[in-house]
Amino acid sequence: MKKELEVSIYGAEQICASCVNLPSSKDTYEWLQAAISRKFPDQSFKIHYYDIFQANYDEEKNAFCHRVIEEDLFYPVVVIENEIIGEGNPKLKRIYQEFEKYGYFSSQ
């Protein structure tokens, strides 16, 4: 059985200054959740949203929230298995490729 992937979306309510005219981090989280579910139906994965300015999570998640702020990463930042897959305006193709790398398969 393949490993159940965990997707972490790090962002904030206010839109990143460099990401004007893009969807909010929360909107991107909801969009990705729906898109991944459609692409890989009946295949389990976890997706979580973390507000970088409300860092009240476990030590690892809090540290990454601080990293996003300190390194001025464009948010939302999409992380899969501790690897940054996209930031600012994440690309579905890249995210899908990462899922396929872990054994997920498309029904489309």
Tens digit of pLDDT for each residue in 30-73?
Answer: 999 999 999 999 999 999 999 999 979 999 999 999 999 999 99
| Top-confidence residue, 1 or 34 | 34
**Residue 80 reports pLDDT greater than 90:** yes
Q: What is the structure's pLDDT at 1?
A: 46
**Residue 12 reports pLDDT greater than 80:** yes
**Residue 79 reports pLDDT greater than 50:** yes
Best CA proximity match to 36, nearest among 84, 88, 78: 78
User: Quick check: 77 and 67 in contact, CB under 8 A?
Assistant: no
Q: What is the structure's pLDDT at 22?
A: 79
Per-residue pLDDT, averaged over 73-90, amounts to 93
Long-range contacts of 33-40 (CB under 8 A, 24+ apart): 35/92, 36/7, 36/95, 36/96, 36/99, 38/108, 39/92, 39/96, 39/99, 39/106, 39/107, 39/108, 40/99, 40/104, 40/105, 40/106, 40/107
Tens digit of pLDDT for each residue in 98-108?
Answer: 999 999 998 76
**DSSP code of residue 19:** G
DSSP run (H or E) holding 86: strand 83-87
How deeply is 88 buried, as exposed, middle or buried, from its count of CB atoms within 10 A (0-12, 13-18, 19+)?
middle
DSSP run (H or E) holding 46: strand 45-51
Domains parsed from the chain with CATH numbers: 5-101 (3.40.30.30)
The pTM for the full model equals 0.90
